[in-house]
Amino acid sequence: MAGTKKVAVIGFGNIGSGVVELLYQKGVAGLELARVVDIDLKKKRAVDLPASYLTTDWRQVVNDPEIDIVVELIGGIEPARSILLAAMQNGKDVVTANKRLLAQAGHRVFQLASTLNRRVGFRASFVGCHSLIHEFRQAGTAAKKFRRIYAVLNGTSNYILSTMTREAKGFEEALREAQAKGYAEADPSDDIDGIDTANKIRILLGLISNSYQAVAPFPVEGIRAITLQDIQYATELGYAVKLVGVIEPEEGVFNVAVHPSLVPQVSLLGSLQGAYNGIELEDEYGIVSGLVAPGAGTYPTADAVIKDLLDIAEGRALPMPGSAQELTLGSTEAVERRYYLRFSVVDQAGVLARITDIFWKYHISLAAVIQKEAVSREFVPLVMTTHLAKEGNLQAAIEKVDKLDVVKAKTKIIRILKADT
Amino acid sequence: MAGTKKVAVIGFGNIGSGVVELLYQKGVAGLELARVVDIDLKKKRAVDLPASYLTTDWRQVVNDPEIDIVVELIGGIEPARSILLAAMQNGKDVVTANKRLLAQAGHRVFQLASTLNRRVGFRASFVGCHSLIHEFRQAGTAAKKFRRIYAVLNGTSNYILSTMTREAKGFEEALREAQAKGYAEADPSDDIDGIDTANKIRILLGLISNSYQAVAPFPVEGIRAITLQDIQYATELGYAVKLVGVIEPEEGVFNVAVHPSLVPQVSLLGSLQGAYNGIELEDEYGIVSGLVAPGAGTYPTADAVIKDLLDIAEGRALPMPGSAQELTLGSTEAVERRYYLRFSVVDQAGVLARITDIFWKYHISLAAVIQKEAVSREFVPLVMTTHLAKEGNLQAAIEKVDKLDVVKAKTKIIRILKADT
């Protein structure tokens, strides 16, 4: 331990105020708050800080040889990226909560860190998953192998899906409720379209593979198209609907996707309530473990920043991708899954036979069928779950089914994930 | 890193074979298997090892200056304790999977380690909780504060309770099934009477408090008295029955107990299936996190041993209690809980009034009542749940109730724990 480390915090919003409160008001041994940067110095904050600490000029801080560690909490790509790169070039370690930056420009950040032997703390970009990052920390010495990771990583989506399930509300109504309560932003697209989950999955993939190479796009589907009807059918079948990020290594490639999924109601992921995050990991021996934690919030995020700062101050290694190895994604068509399918068919004899006939040709077999008595004569929901089938076959079969004259709307497809905890 | 560390494994049973397989057959960088000790060298093992590695004499190994780390996997108190103490006195670090030893003689082991500055790895005594131990690792620098820990730590009990719930079986039948499948031992007392859970809770308490002082006895109740009827009432009320270890710090003391508990069905602990372990932790800010992992098994245990060995070989600190501070337990009477109560009463008018009259005097209010139509005239189950009440008041009230002439058997009391994940 080389004495007290001087810390500059760039970005004095909610998280920044939380970090300043812990560093300056509460005090953390080994860490000293030196400067705080924000473009708006007049705004009233939750924490009192003498004006002498404050500046609007991040360059001044990043060039200050007194500063040991720079904490970036402004979000977005620029100037956040320039701040991190310049700070490292000036010999400082950095800590960031910026998952969008790491997902999009992580290769630049980690490559520079690797070249200059600097440390990048990013627990706070991934609050719900501290412990998992710890588990992968040993990856440098003994690469942790695993069969699959299923992760619910977006609190907003989970809050909306939980509300729809518990209160029998439609998607739009649940979204408005989430916005009213501050769980969803005015523009909720990042959260409900799966982008935030995909960003976290990219960061996780970097950690797992120990590679900072950018990854090709992978399939990302959000929750806008999930209806109350789907949730009610899922409940009847014993499942909960969750937005899940999936990473499955397979013979040198990674199958990666983000999509709404049916998971057993009574399971770690199925029982996740409100804004919690959850991860389930199956290792190479088939041993499953999981963890649950709040996915966001001022205190958990500020706490994650402090933990990174302490690791740096006390000379502990931080988990970060350290190689330039290429990452190859697997072909989506070859992935085998079970499926929930909701058809919109006319209520007439022979419909089921025509669908199962197509399925038979594509080697798809049924696990369950729910057809209720029709309320109207022209539009009946017909719900099926399949046994394991190849995604390519399933998509081809549904394309055929959707062209049948008895099918009146696009068939809804939701993947069913097994869950062991 | 100071070159390869020489490892001796004492105890060549299932776990020992797993460790030998990883160290000798698979190979782990930085670690070299040097000796293996067992009293029976003739038994057929799952792993082939040249006879030159084997000996029956643990003293020879513990006194061998070539050995850097001793792994104790024989279980029981003696000679396990002598092995650990002698190894440390001879300048070696030690790794153990022996939770009974650590629960009963941990103060001697950790005190000596503290005096001699040796490291004790004991992840394997606590397989389901790796990540939690990691979380507490930083305790040395920034003491992690929390409000409560609820932990399901015994796989056998959880398997039995899950089977009773899922298959509507009685306790005895579920126990026999667990024994037939190898999930319960011929003498299952350690598991089903809560002793194993209590041992783990003692180890956890040491880590949390950073104290290796022995702790006074605390209330421990197992699952023998849980009936199928209790499980069915719990299900009807939305709860699952689990054997839970509880640690709640309160104004300088710790409330500690192990008992069967009702937890919400759809929650991290409530959804634990089979032989899994789960922990839920609420920190000082009210943030709840949890984790789920297999509680036992050859591979997870051997993997935990290897992780400890790697931490030692690579010079990382191991989490272990390091002070001799006294630990004080709180008074059970003052603890506030909600309760599930099953009365065995005669089916006659005024019974409910006589019970609620007693409750009123002890400030106990009811949350729910289930009384079904009587099948027989003389013995009706009456089930109630209470709002928060002091344990002392509840026990005093039940003592009074059980003396009423209309009450025909001892009232069954099960505590209800809140759960946020």
Cβ pair A138:B300 closer than 8 A: no
Task: Find the residue in A nearest to B282 (Cα).
Answer: A293
Closest residue to B287, CB basis, from A142, A271, A300 = A300
pLDDT of residue B121: 93
Pick the residue of B31, B152, B242, B273 with the most A CBs within 10 A to test the interface with A by mutation: B273
Q: How far apart are CA A90 and CA A96, in angstroms?
A: 17
Asked whether residue A158 carries a pLDDT value surpassing 80, the answer given is yes
Answer whether residue A213 shows pLDDT above 90.
no
Domain boundaries A332-416, corresponding CATH code: 3.30.70.260
Return the residue of B nearest to A301 by Cα.
B287
Residue of chain B nearest A282, judged by CA positions: B293
User: Does the distance separating the beta carbons of B138 and A310 come in below 8 Å?
Assistant: yes
Q: How far is A287 from chain B (nearest CA, A)?
A: 7
Give the per-residue pLDDT at A140. 41
List all residues 6 or more positions away from A403 whose beta carbon is below 8 Å from its beta carbon.
none
Contact criterion met (CB < 8 Å) for A290 and B292: yes
Model confidence, pTM = 0.84
Displacement of CA A272 from its chain's centroid (Å):
14
Q: How far is A413 from chain B (nearest CA, A)?
A: 26
Secondary structure element (H or E) that encloses residue B398, with its range: helix B391-401
* Model confidence pLDDT, tens digit, residues A275-305: 888 988 888 778 788 888 887 778 888 988 9
CB A321 within 8 A of CB A207: yes
> Minimal Cα distance from A166: which residue of B?
B266
Q: Which of B132, B271, B312 to mutate to test the interface with A (most CBs of A within 10 A)?
A: B271
User: CB–CB of A130 and B135 under 8 A?
Assistant: yes
Nearest to B267 among A271, A287, A293 (CB): A271
Contact A382, A369 (CB under 8 A): yes
In chain B, residues with a C-beta closer than 8 Å to the C-beta of A21 are: none
Please tell me which of the candidates A132, A135, A289 has its beta carbon nearest to residue B294.
Answer: A289
The pLDDT score that the predictor gives to residue A144 is: 58
A315 touches B at CB < 8 Å: no
Architecture of the domain delimited by B5-121: 3-Layer(aba) Sandwich (3.40)
Percent share of chain A, pLDDT over 70: 94
Q: Which of B141, B270, B273 sits opposite A29 (nearest CB)?
A: B141
Q: Which residues contact B360 (CB under 8 A, 6 or more apart)?
A: none
**Cβ(B13)–Cβ(B71) under 8 Å?**
no
pLDDT at res. B133? 62
- Distance CA(B7)–CA(A408), nearest Å, equals 69
Q: Is B28 on the interface with A (CB under 8 A)?
A: yes
Of residues A404, A306, A290, A257, the one with CA closest to residue A7 = A306
**A with B: how many residue pairs have Cβ under 8 Å apart?**
101
Q: What is the pLDDT of residue A128?
A: 67
Q: Distance from A134 to chain B by nearest Cα, in Å?
A: 7
- pLDDT, tens digit, 9 for 90 and up, residues A332-346: 888 999 999 999 998
Nearest to B142 among A132, A300, A310 (CB): A310
- B377, with CB counted inside 10 A (0-12, 13-18, 19+), is exposed
pLDDT at position B339: 97
**Please, which residues bridge with residue B380 across strands?**
B345
Tell how strand B5-10 and strand B69-72 pair up: parallel
- In chain B, residues with a C-beta closer than 8 Å to the C-beta of A274 are none
The pLDDT, as a whole number, for residue A224 is 96
Residue of A92, A200, A242, A412 marked active site: A200
User: pLDDT of chain B along its 421 residues, tens only?
Assistant: 458 999 999 999 989 999 999 999 988 989 999 999 999 988 888 888 999 999 999 999 999 999 999 999 999 999 999 999 999 999 999 999 998 999 888 889 999 999 999 999 998 887 766 666 666 555 343 345 788 999 999 989 999 999 999 999 999 999 999 999 888 888 999 999 999 999 999 988 888 888 888 888 999 999 999 999 999 999 999 999 999 999 998 888 899 999 999 999 888 899 888 888 898 888 877 878 888 888 777 888 898 899 899 989 988 878 888 888 888 899 888 899 999 999 999 888 888 999 999 999 999 999 999 988 776 666 788 999 999 999 999 999 999 999 999 999 999 999 999 765 4
Predicted pLDDT at B131: 61
- CB spacing of A142 vs B29 below 8 angstroms: yes
**DSSP string for residues in A248-283:** EEETTEEEEEEEEEEEESSSTTTT--TTEEEEEEEE
Q: Nearest chain A Cα to B27, which residue?
A: A142
DSSP of B263-299: EESSSTTTT--TTEEEEEEEETTS-EEEEEEE---HH
DSSP B27: I
**Least CB–CB distance from B287: residue in A29, A142, A294:** A294
Task: Tell me if A300 and B291 make a contact (CB, 8 A cut-off).
Answer: no
One of 3.30.40.10, 3.30.360.10, 1.10.10.10, 3.90.1310.10 is the CATH number of B137-295, namely: 3.30.360.10
Residues of B in contact with A130 (CB under 8 A): 135
Tokens 């909701």: give the residue: A342
pLDDT at A143: 42
Burial class (CB in 10 A: 0-12, 13-18, 19+), B108: middle
The pLDDT of residue A142: 37
Which of chain B's residues have a Cβ under 8 Å away from the Cβ of A289?
131, 291-294
* Structure confidence at residue B143 (pLDDT): 41
Residue of A146, A239, A289, A308 to mutate when probing chain B, most B C-beta within 10 A? A289
**Structure-model confidence comparison of residues A376 and B111, the more confident one:** B111
Residues of A in contact with B271 (CB under 8 A): 266-268, 270-271, 421
User: Using CB atoms, which residue from B141, B291, B294 is nearest to A291?
Assistant: B291
Inter-chain CB proximity A268 and B271 less than 8 Å: yes
Q: Where are the domains of chain A?
A: 5-121, 137-295, 332-416
The whole-number pLDDT of residue B2 equals 55
Within 8 A of A297 by CB-CB distance, chain B residues are 287
> A284 — contact with chain B (CB < 8 Å)?
no
Contacts of A307 in chain B (CB under 8 A): 138
Backbone dihedral region for residue A27 (phi beyond 0: left; psi -120 to 50: alpha; all else: beta): left
Q: Looking at the complex, does the CB of residue A138 fall below 8 Å from at least one CB of chain B?
A: yes
In this structure, whether the domain defined by B336-416 belongs to CATH 3.40.367.20 is answered with no
> Is the minimum CB–CB distance between A143 and chain B shorter than 8 Å?
no
- Report the alpha-carbon distance of residue B280 to residue B292 in Å, rounded: 9
Tokens of residue B41, six digits: 């060298």
B200 carries an active-site annotation: yes
Contact call for A299 and B289, based on CB within 8 A: no
In the prediction, which pLDDT does A377 show?
63
Q: Please report the residues numbered 219 through 278 in chain B whose beta carbons come closer than 8 angstroms to any beta carbon of chain A.
A: 265-268, 270-273, 276
| Chain A, nearest residue to B296 by Cα | A287
pLDDT at residue B44 in the model? 85
* pLDDT (0 to 100) of residue A141: 36
Q: Which of B5, B200, B242, B412 is catalytic?
A: B200
Strand A54-55 with A31-37, pairing = parallel
Closest-CA residue of chain A to B22: A142
CB contact under 8 A, A288 and B294: yes
